[in-house]
Amino acid sequence: MGGKKQKAREIECSVLGNDRPESSVPGEIVPSTEFYDYKAKYLDEGSQLIIPAKLSKAETKRVQQLAIAAFQAVDCSGLARVDFLMDPKNRKIYLNEINTMPGFTSISMYPKLWAASGLPYPKLIERLIQLGLERHAEKMKNQYTR
């Protein structure tokens, strides 16, 4: 490639649930600048969201499994967006971060990934309310003594 370095691909996956979390289809962010910073995310029009990400079936399944495993490893509940980096040469997937309170605006990846997975925004809100009520009921069952 004439010495030109390829940047890692930014893959994101939404997770929804409490004890039995589910994952959305993965999406990919192609930043308009070298870094996906505040300006690229909110001010520039050039960044692209590719939903679903252009991955093989096996890669898609792997991202979804890793997203759920990460969610469970840190005992998340309700929602999270799990971000990955993919090496463009060997296509190896690396966990980058878990966003336990991801963006939830009309331009945010979290609800867009669920919409692409067949769960529209109003149903997503209903599901999150159900999950919150379930988690609250579970906590109310716990009794503590001194």
Helices 121-141 and 109-116: crossing angle in degrees, nearest 10, is: 110
Predicted pLDDT of residue 139: 85
| pLDDT score, position 3 | 47
Q: Which fold has domain 9-141?
A: D-amino Acid Aminotransferase; Chain A, domain 1 (3.30.470)
Instruction: Name the pTM for this structure.
Output: 0.85
Q: Where are the domains of the chain?
A: 9-141
Does 2 have pLDDT greater than 50? no
Report the alpha-carbon distance of residue 36 to residue 135 in Å, rounded.
Answer: 34
Average pLDDT over residues 82-88: 96
Nearest residue to 100 (alpha-carbon basis) of 15, 10, 11? 15
- 44 pLDDT exceeds 60? no
**Among 97, 18, 94, CA closest to 59:** 94
Neighbours of 11 (CB within 10 A): 26
Strand 27-30 to strand 9-17: parallel, antiparallel, or no bridges (unpaired)?
antiparallel
Angle at 104 between CA 116 and CA 76, to 5 degrees: 90
Q: Which 8-state DSSP code applies to residue 8?
A: P
